[in-house]
Each structure stands twice: as structure tokens, then as C-alpha cells.
């Protein structure tokens, strides 16, 4: 019987549009969390220790907010952040500026870049 449900689900996915696929992925992720499964779906797998929760272009680079996870002694995971970073390319290399935990990453970046310019 489970095999029939799997085939039915696969047939529905084959006909789904992009919005329906996004909704299905969100529902699958929610169900995996409820069952204690990892992203792969097979067995208990540790979650990623870092995830990007927001990304947007700014000036000559990219502002990126990341959350961090840490495993506790009881096996559960604590989530921290979001922590902001500014990523840009300079002389062919990707550079990062850590902005910290802030509600205004643009202002934090302006302050940090001002500090860097004064040092050089």
C-alpha cells in the first residue's frame, strides 16, 4: 500500500508547477522535523550548523544573515543569531566583514567600513 502512495505522490509532483513544489518542499521539511528526520529523509541526521536566512545585494557586495546551531548535551540543538556578514570581491578574492547581531546591517557596515578607511 505504501508503494502505491509513493507512486501517487510522484505522479502529482511530475504535474506540479513551481509554486506547488515550493509548498510541497515546505510541508516535507515540516514533517521531517516532526519525525526527527534530517534533510535527507533517511534516519536521524544532524541539521546544518549554519543556514542563510536572508541575503540581499548592497553597494559592491552582498549582505547575508546566518543562524548558527549548536548541539546541546541532551542532543537537542540551540539556534543563535542571525549574525550579519558583508561579502564582496576585492583583487579577485572574496572578502568578508562580520557585522554581528544587528537590526540595521547597512548602518553597521557603514561604521565598519569607516573604521577600515581610517586605518589605511
Q: Are residues 26 and 38 in the same domain?
A: yes
Q: How far is CA 87 from the centre of its chain?
A: 15
Write out the residue range of the structural domain in which residue 86 sits.
46-120
Q: Are residues 53 and 37 in the same domain?
A: no
Alpha-carbon distance of 7 to 64, in angstroms, equals 39
Top-confidence residue, 12 or 120: 12
* pLDDT at res. 17: 87
Task: Identify the helix (H) or strand (E) that includes residue 92.
Answer: none
Please give the average per-residue pLDDT across 2-17, as a whole number.
83
Is residue 55 pLDDT above 80, yes or no? Answer: yes
- Show the DSSP H helices in the chain as ranges: 2-15, 18-35, 105-119
Local structure of residue 45 (DSSP, 8 states) = -
* pLDDT at res. 6: 83
User: Is pTM beyond 0.75 here?
Assistant: no
* pLDDT at res. 72: 86
* pLDDT at res. 40: 52
Q: What is the mean pLDDT of the chain?
A: 85
Tell me if 68 sits within 8 A of 83, measured CB to CB.
Answer: yes
Q: Which set of grid coordinates corresponds to residue 12?
A: 502529482
Of the three residues 45, 62, 77, the one that is the final residue of a domain is: 45
Q: Are residues 56 and 102 in the same domain?
A: yes
Overall domain count for the chain: 2
Tell me if 81 sits within 8 A of 65, measured CB to CB.
Answer: yes
Please give the average per-residue pLDDT across 96-111, as a whole number.
96
Q: Are residues 50 and 14 in the same domain?
A: no
Q: Are residues 72 and 112 in the same domain?
A: yes
* pLDDT at res. 114: 84
Amino acid at each position: 500500500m505504501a508503494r502505491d502512495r509513493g507512486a501517487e505522490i510522484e505522479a502529482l509532483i511530475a504535474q506540479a508547477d513551481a509554486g506547488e513544489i515550493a509548498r510541497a518542499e515546505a510541508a516535507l521539511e515540516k514533517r521531517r522535523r516532526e519525525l526527527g528526520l534530517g534533510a535527507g529523509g533517511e534516519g536521524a541526521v544532524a541539521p546544518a550548523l549554519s543556514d542563510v536566512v536572508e541575503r540581499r545585494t548592497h553597494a559592491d557586495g552582498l549582505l547575508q544573515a546566518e543562524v548558527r546551531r549548536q548541539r546541546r548535551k541532551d542532543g537537542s540543538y540551540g539556534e543563535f543569531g542571525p549574525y550579519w556578514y558583508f561579502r564582496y570581491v576585492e583583487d579577485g578574492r572574496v572578502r568578508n566583514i562580520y557585522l554581528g547581531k544587528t537590526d540595521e546591517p547597512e548602518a553597521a557596515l557603514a561604521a565598519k567600513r569607516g573604521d577600515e578607511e581610517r586605518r589605511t
